[in-house]
Amino acid sequence: MFRLSIAIVLAVLALPAAALAKGPSEGTISGPGFVKTVKVLNDGSPGTAGGDLTQTAGFFPAAFGQSPDPLLHRRPAVLGPRYTIVWTVPGNDSHRIRQFVYPYAKGGSVTYMKPGQPIFGMTTHGGWYRDAGLKRTLVRLGLPAKAPSVASSAGTSWTLPAGLAAAVLAVVAAVLLFWHRQRGQRSPSTSSTELPAGSRT
């Protein structure tokens, strides 16, 4: 009986470890100008593209928690463009885990997983995570080394002056039209008050 109790306790204690071993089978990254699906083999160990992404994105500590806790204590101040990883986790009742990625954050790339997402009968621990290798991993997968928003902002800087110029031209045209109409209305009234030279006394 004593041995049976020990076996039950050990089985219960092994459940979280089994859940941790069930990492994601794939992750789909999407964001400004970039979409990529990466397959993850086995338990997400590093050495492959999918395994490196799982590790550098901090999937396991963000999803299940870890001691000591490697997550950041506060949100980084400057984040830059946001990308999203949608993790597919086998056996997670078709639930997908979302994790936001900020590859160009000041101080190094960071991720954020929202707490409370369903995973293996519990919920994600959640939090901010930073890893120096995350951007290198993403660049190897095809992400630009520099933020694509730099190029797009240069394009938008030309659209604002063009819009202002169009507005100014519209106002000028309206003023000229109003002035022309007012002048046309004043001319007949002025000439009607003038008498012919022969009718003057």
Does the structure show a pLDDT above 90 at 35? yes
pLDDT band at 150 (very low <50, low <70, confident <90, very high): very low
Instruction: Measure CA of the first residue to CA of the last residue in the chain; give whole Å.
Output: 139
Q: For position 105, what pLDDT does the model report?
A: 97
Q: What is the mean pLDDT of residues 72-97?
A: 93
Calpha distance 56→54 (Å, rounded): 6
Read off the pLDDT of residues 158-194 as tens digits, 9 standing for 90 and up.
334 445 556 656 765 776 777 677 766 665 544 444 4
77-115: burial string, b at 16+ Cβ within 10 Å, e else: eebbbebebebbbeebeeebbebbbbbbbeeebbbbbee
Question: Are 48 and 56 contacting, i.e. CB atoms less than 8 angstroms apart?
Answer: no
* Residue 170, pLDDT score: 73
Both tokens assigned to 48: 């492959």
**Residue 179: per-residue pLDDT:** 67
Longest dimension (CA), the chain: 139
Q: Which amino acid is residue 52, in one-letter code?
A: D
User: Per-residue pLDDT averaged across 1-25, rounded?
Assistant: 50
Q: Smallest Cα–Cα separation from 137: which of 58, 43, 33?
A: 58
